Structure 1
Amino acid sequence: MNDLTIIQASQGLCAYVLANVSAASDRGIVIGHDHRHNSEKWAMITAAVFMAQNMKVHLLAGQVHTPMVPFSLKRLRAACGVMITASHNQKDDNGYKVYWENGVQIIEPHDKGIARTIEANLEPGSYDISAISTSSLCTDVTQKMREDYLQYVKALSCQDSESQKAEIRVVNTSMHGVSHAILTKVFESLGFPAYIPVKEQEAPNPDFPTVNFPNPEEKGALDLAMKLGDEVGVSYVLAQDPDADRFAAAEKQRDGKWTPFTGDQLGTLFAAAVLEQYKSSGKPLSKLAMVASTVSSKMIAAMAASEGFRFVDCLTGFKYIGNTALTLVSDGYEVPFGYEEAIGFMFGDEVRDKDGVAATIVFMDLINSLHAQGKTASSYLQELYQRYGYFQTSNSYFICTEAPTINKIFARLRNFGGRNTTGNPDYPKEIAGLSIIQIRDLTVGYDSSNPPTYKPTLPLSSGHMIQFKAESPAKDEEIFLTLRTSGTEPKIKYYLEGRGHDASKVSGLLARVVAELGDSWLQADSNGLGRP
């Protein structure tokens, strides 16, 4: 990214919005930025481009966390939104995130339409960012939106007097990002004890000096937080990624070791908390729906089948999760929760995107309530396993820098038995002693569970993506396996989950599946695939 690409992207986006959104000029655009190198300058250039076309700009001045853009867009009924951020990418990266008028990241047909309009508006104009602050077209909405956002997050908390008395203290790290300023205000407004910040990571710093990669999921990213947790004697450490749209947590076990929760484990805890709150409202469970990406855990699906609410999966990414939620709302459902396994969580109806600050508050709410009952997040998770079945994930990837090799691997999977002579796919029939009972290929458009058309209900993927479901002969164990290519990295990713009644058996099963996946299905050695 550079000034030119920002100008070209903004010129194309502005032209497309003016042509496709009613009253776009008056409704305007919401623009925010984080602390990355050049983020503020590129936000100002974006504002200048839109103002040059007589379009109002609602400016979130200073550094804000990403969810503030879709939140403000909805509150202000703006025509679109732009957030300048690279989320948890490495320090040299930056990005241009676009939200449509519905408050959700853009999907088809708008993404392709915007791309075409950018191509048609590549000649850069001349823009003066010094005139932004004095222009009648630009309004600084930061203070009002922060106040409104604070009320929204407070409404997510369902603290009662007993759980308030728990007063659990936690360590929190902002990962050199922007969450500290807003999170301290939220904690104070809710009456939570002030969290103990990791001082070395508290202030926004675009160079991320204490971590190799500013992603709370990465190995070592929570080391400083856990070290501080040991020093001050707390049981939980929490984290947001640099633009604070993701959330991570770890719990100290009885043996003194820290155990980070996976994104799927947090998703399960959050879903259970949302379900209990919904039950207490007295509303019919038949009108409750939850959403997760198709590579996330199937445990919420099991929960939904047991409890009587609706669960829907969708393609990976909150642009799909948010839009799926809106479709369910239009069908008469309430959708108070959605998530993806990459520690992204959506709460309520004000932000149809992942929100690390909201997730932090809901998690605090949960552990305070559990503490009042003599429980922990880990012990509660074990209760949920007993109730709905034991689920364990094993997600990772193989490294491949050659596109032809990747294409060859997936072509072989679609003709694994060598009988694909008429154009009909011939996928593997078993793995690790389990029979494959369902296959969904979102590249070629095939779903074995949907006869007679065999067309998948999910939209097709732009890259390779095949999903397998397999079960044991006794049908007491299942695995769910997704293989997909990455759009940004030279990887073949796999998302693997096992379900059973015995944790050790499920763990052993997953190890056998991973071994056969690499050795037989992907032929990792002969294809020169790297392993992390």
Structure 2
Amino acid sequence: MPQSSRIDELVAEWLRYDKNPETRSEIEHLWDDGEWDELDARLGQRIEFGTAGLRAKMQAGYSSMNDLIVIQAAQGLAAHLSTLPDALKRGVVVGHDHRHNSKRWAGLTTRAFLNRGFKVYSYRGVVHTPLVPFGVKKLGAVGGVMVTASHNPAQDNGWKVYYENAVQIIPPVDSAIADAILENLEPEDEAWDCDTVREHPLCEDKTNNMRYEYHNHVAALFPPEEAADLAITHTSFHGSADLSIARAFAVTGLPPIMTVRQQRDPDPDFPTLPFPNPEEKGALSLAIDTANKNGSQYILANDPDSDRFLAAEKIDLNQWHIYTGDELGAIFASYIIEEYKRTNRPMDKMAMVASTVSSKMLGAMATAEGFHFEDTLTGFKYIGNKALELEKRGYAVELLYEEAIGFGLSPFIRDKDGITAAIAFVRLAARLNRRNTSVFAQLQLLYKKYGFFGTRNSYFKCGANDLKEKIFRGLRENDSATGYPAQLGPFEVENVRDLTEGHAFDSNQPDKKPVLPVSAGNMITFYGKAQSGEAFVMTIRTSGTEPKIKYYLEVSSKDQTTIDVKLTEAENALASDWVKTSELGL
């Protein structure tokens, strides 16, 4: 079919489906102006529904986030969930953050479920993301939807799905839902009516009830201890954390915290943060300035939907240490180990889970202390489901974490939760303060006990799929025994694991087949050592939500002084020899 005819058909279909005057107008203007390439980009490819649900820029078109996409996704999800036992009676939980369109899309989602006869537990007003999986489990719902784009820029929004087990969806459920969406593209009667959903007899407001239950749960997890004289500053990054964390501090007996007032209240435009991600360089500048003025020793930060957590500590007059996700993972693990030893609980019945791109320090701690450790594919969808699997095997799963500052410390919420992570961090800081020491000093002791681990996690911006494929093809077509590169700067590659569909390979397994499942996105992990004794592990993968190639590089050694040098040498070799940034224009 000629390109112009194809575009005409796609435009006609969009205008037949879409009843939102703003997004209709966007497509009409592009059509009138003959913007065929833009129309093809907007309409020619549909946004992919995957294990992370949906997330993209807010604008008209099948490749973006808008009313029509939300309606179609909700209709498909409702059709799929309706096949589960007692689905209509058990109902679904629907919540939203403070972003532009979030409230409306929660309403459209609610309408789609009401049209199918589902009970809907509707959260009214802005909630933090962990309240949705908490509600799914507490209410026995068949699923849940949270409208949020987490830490993405202001122009983005998303639609996050939880299954009946209160965990994010994994294959093959994601494919089944994606198929159901494609089978339910025609908006149903009343699909656009989100203004009257709250009056519907099947729509029940559970907001205050679930907030109350959530904070009761937090209080039970962290019973009050002896107070410590700590000065703490918190920032919610213009998001949902402020109210929840203030209440969490109160119910756990912790003193009130100071806030970064410019970032305290929900604001969908994120005026002080173009990228509202605590991990971004400079993201804590305003918090550090505030903490310096009010004399704080620690900074706590939550991303806009409050499921992630970051901390910083003042270690000198003018120096702040911003903790990495891997450092926090080790710190939380030490807190749990101390609790088990203090209460004489059996360590061999306890388990921790981390993503495979996270630090190997947790594995070293497991070996030394005798608890069970497993790693999974990247993402809390896999981490949470692995926790449920380990529970069935009789383990008490106490810590879930990924290096991207995601932590789960509640046996009831098998997803990351920045509020409970903040409470756990402050409790440990308070205990250490009573011993006249600090979290940073504790981290140094952990390194001395379990080994020194240093990480460099970053990315190369790379939007074109053919360019991504060229880079990964180059990593698989080498003149070596495995076909993969044999050297990374000072390190010799000893083992390779490729978890990419069509390329599944693990040189460390007898049958060369990886134990972890493969996925559509490129993901390769390299293991090796330098002649001077340092070990390295590096995973390089394509991002599922951003135009990036990400890498996670870690060097471990008995000698701390050599780690930064070796990290820099390996990082430089990655850019120049493996990715070949100068040749590829990255």
Q: Name the TM tier (shorter chain).
A: over 0.9
From 66, 89, 103, give the equivalent of 2:129.
66
* 1:71 aligned counterpart, secondary structure: helix
Cα distance in 1 for residues equivalent to 2:118 and 2:156: 29
One-letter amino acid of the structure 2 residue matched with residue 365 of structure 1: R
Residues 10-32 of structure 1, C-alpha deviations (whole Å, 9 max, x = no match): 1100000001x110000000010
2:462 aligned with 1:400: yes
One-letter amino acid of the structure 1 residue matched with residue 214 of structure 2: Y
Cα distance in 2 for residues equivalent to 1:149 and 1:282: 28
* 1:290 aligned counterpart, secondary structure: strand
Q: Which residue of 2 aligns with 1:157?
A: 222
Residues 314-369 of structure 1, C-alpha deviations (whole Å, 9 max, x = no match): 11111011001111111111111110111110012111100011111111111001
Task: Please give the TM-score of this superposition, normalised by the length of structure 2.
Answer: 0.86
From 194, 208, 212, give the equivalent of 1:143.
208
One-letter amino acid of the structure 1 residue matched with residue 69 of structure 2: T
Q: Which residue of 1 aligns with 2:483?
A: 426
Q: Which residue of 1 aligns with 2:49?
A: none
* 1:439 aligned counterpart, secondary structure: strand
Q: Is the 8 A contact 2:225 2:253 kept in 1?
A: no
Q: Which residue of 2 aligns with 1:174?
A: 236
Q: Is the 8 A contact 2:144 2:161 kept in 1?
A: yes
* 1:258 aligned counterpart, secondary structure: strand
One-letter amino acid of the structure 1 residue matched with residue 169 of structure 2: I
Residues 139-160 of structure 1, C-alpha deviations (whole Å, 9 max, x = no match): 1111111111001112222543
* 1:395 aligned counterpart, secondary structure: strand
Cα distance in 1 for residues equivalent to 2:247 and 2:314: 26
From 512, 535, 556, give the equivalent of 1:454.
512
2:313 aligned with 1:251: yes
Q: Which residue of 2 aligns with 1:505?
A: 562
Tell me the matched-pair count: 518
After TM superposition, the structure 1 stretch with the greater mean CA deviation from structure 2, 94-103 or 122-131, is: 122-131
1:245 Cα deviation from its structure 2 partner: 0.4
Q: Which residue of 1 aligns with 2:5?
A: none
2:534 aligned with 1:477: yes
Residues 471-492 of structure 1, C-alpha deviations (whole Å, 9 max, x = no match): 1336x31011111111232322
Cα distance in 1 for residues equivalent to 2:472 and 2:110: 44
1:110 Cα deviation from its structure 2 partner: 0.9
2:332 aligned with 1:275: no
1:114 Cα deviation from its structure 2 partner: 0.4
After TM superposition, the structure 1 stretch with the greater mean CA deviation from structure 2, 113-122 or 465-474, is: 465-474
* 2:125 aligned counterpart, secondary structure: strand
1:281 Cα deviation from its structure 2 partner: 2.9
Q: Which residue of 2 aligns with 1:357?
A: 419
Cα distance in 1 for residues equivalent to 2:557 and 2:66: 51
Q: Is the 8 A contact 1:169 1:194 kept in 2?
A: no
* 1:342 aligned counterpart, secondary structure: coil
Q: Which residue of 2 aligns with 1:422?
A: none
Q: Which residue of 1 aligns with 2:145?
A: 82
* 2:364 aligned counterpart, secondary structure: helix
Task: Please give the TM-score of this superposition, normalised by the length of structure 1.
Answer: 0.95
From 568, 577, 586, give the equivalent of 1:520.
577
Residues 378-403 of structure 1, C-alpha deviations (whole Å, 9 max, x = no match): 10000000000000101112223332
Q: Is the 8 A contact 1:439 1:449 kept in 2?
A: yes
One-letter amino acid of the structure 2 residue matched with residue 490 of structure 1: P
User: Any residues of structure 2 matched to 1:213-228 within 5 Å, and which?
Assistant: 213-228=275-290
1:418 Cα deviation from its structure 2 partner: 6.3
Q: Is the 8 A contact 2:410 2:420 kept in 1?
A: no
Cα distance in 1 for residues equivalent to 2:548 and 2:99: 26
Q: Is the 8 A contact 1:169 1:193 kept in 2?
A: no
Residues 277-328 of structure 1, C-alpha deviations (whole Å, 9 max, x = no match): 1232322211111010111100000000111111111111110110011111
Q: Is the 8 A contact 2:233 2:300 kept in 1?
A: yes
1:435 Cα deviation from its structure 2 partner: 2.3
Q: Which runs of 5+ in 1 are unaligned?
A: 420-424
1:186 Cα deviation from its structure 2 partner: 1.4
* 1:438 aligned counterpart, secondary structure: strand
Runs in 1 of length 4+ with deviation above 4 angstroms? none
Q: Which residue of 2 aligns with 1:189?
A: 251
From 49, 70, 73, give the equivalent of 2:112.
49
2:6 aligned with 1:6: no
* 1:493 aligned counterpart, secondary structure: strand
2:179 aligned with 1:121: no
One-letter amino acid of the structure 2 residue matched with residue 464 of structure 1: N
> What do you get for the CA RMSD once the two structures are aligned?
1.3
